[in-house]
C-alpha cells in the first residue's frame, strides 16, 4: 500500500510530534504568563501612594495630546507617583537600569498592550504614533521598533 510509512518515516514523524509537543508546552507557558500579567497589570495604581496621584492627573492627561508640552509637564508633576509605579511594574522600561534592553519578551508584549490601552484614553490616541515617539524616548532599536509596528494589527478591532 502506497500510503503506508516506512520505519524511517515513522521515526521522523515521532520526532516531529515530540517537537510539536515541546512547542505547545513553551507556548502554553508564555500564554499562562501573559494571562497572569493581564490579571495583575497596574494593580499598584489602585492603592496608596499611587491612587492619589493618578486620581489627580488621569483626567488631565486624558484631555491633552500624548507627548505634548502639557503632557510632559503633567508627568513632571506626577513624578513621585510614577517613580513608585515604575519601580513595581516591569512592563515599563523605566523599571530597569538599561530600559528596554533589560526587558523580557513578556514585558515587551505587556508594554505594547499598555501603550495600546493608553492610546484609548486620549482623544487623539494613535498606537503607531506612540511607538514612534517612544522609539526615541526609550532608545528602541529600529529592528524592535519594526517588530512593534508589525504587531499593531493585533489590536485593530479593540475598542473601549
Q: What is the pLDDT of residue 67?
A: 85
Per-residue pLDDT of the chain (160 residues), as tens digits, is: 568 999 999 999 999 999 999 999 999 999 999 999 999 999 999 999 999 999 999 888 888 888 899 989 999 999 999 999 999 999 999 999 999 999 999 999 999 999 999 999 888 889 999 999 999 999 999 999 999 999 999 999 887 6
Residue whose cell numbers read 510509512: 5
User: What are the residues whose beta carbons fall under 8 Å from the beta carbon of 132, sequence distance 6 or more?
Assistant: 145
Q: What is the pLDDT of residue 63?
A: 84
CA distance 72 to 59: 14
What single DSSP character describes residue 96?
A: S
pTM of the model as a whole: 0.90
The string of DSSP codes covering 19-33 is: HHHHHHHHHHHHHHH
Q: What is the pLDDT of residue 80?
A: 97
Amino acid at each position: 500500500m502506497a500510503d503506508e510509512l516506512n520505519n524511517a518515516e515513522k521515526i521522523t514523524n515521532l520526532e516531529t510530534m515530540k517537537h510539536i509537543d515541546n512547542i505547545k508546552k513553551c507556548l502554553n507557558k508564555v500564554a499562562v504568563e501573559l494571562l497572569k500579567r493581564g490579571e495583575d497589570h497596574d494593580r499598584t495604581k489602585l492603592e496608596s501612594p499611587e491612587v492619589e496621584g493618578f486620581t489627580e492627573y488621569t483626567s488631565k492627561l486624558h484631555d491633552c495630546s500624548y507627548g505634548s508640552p502639557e503632557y510632559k509637564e503633567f508627568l513632571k508633576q506626577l513624578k513621585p507617583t510614577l517613580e513608585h509605579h515604575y519601580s513595581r511594574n516591569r512592563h515599563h522600561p523605566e523599571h530597569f537600569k538599561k530600559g528596554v534592553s533589560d526587558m523580557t519578551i513578556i514585558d515587551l508584549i505587556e508594554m505594547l498592550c499598555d501603550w495600546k490601552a493608553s492610546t484609548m484614553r486620549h482623544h487623539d490616541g494613535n498606537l503607531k504614533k506612540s511607538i514612534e515617539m517612544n522609539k526615541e524616548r526609550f532608545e528602541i532599536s529600529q529592528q524592535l521598533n519594526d517588530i512593534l509596528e508589525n504587531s499593531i494589527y493585533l489590536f485593530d478591532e479593540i475598542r473601549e
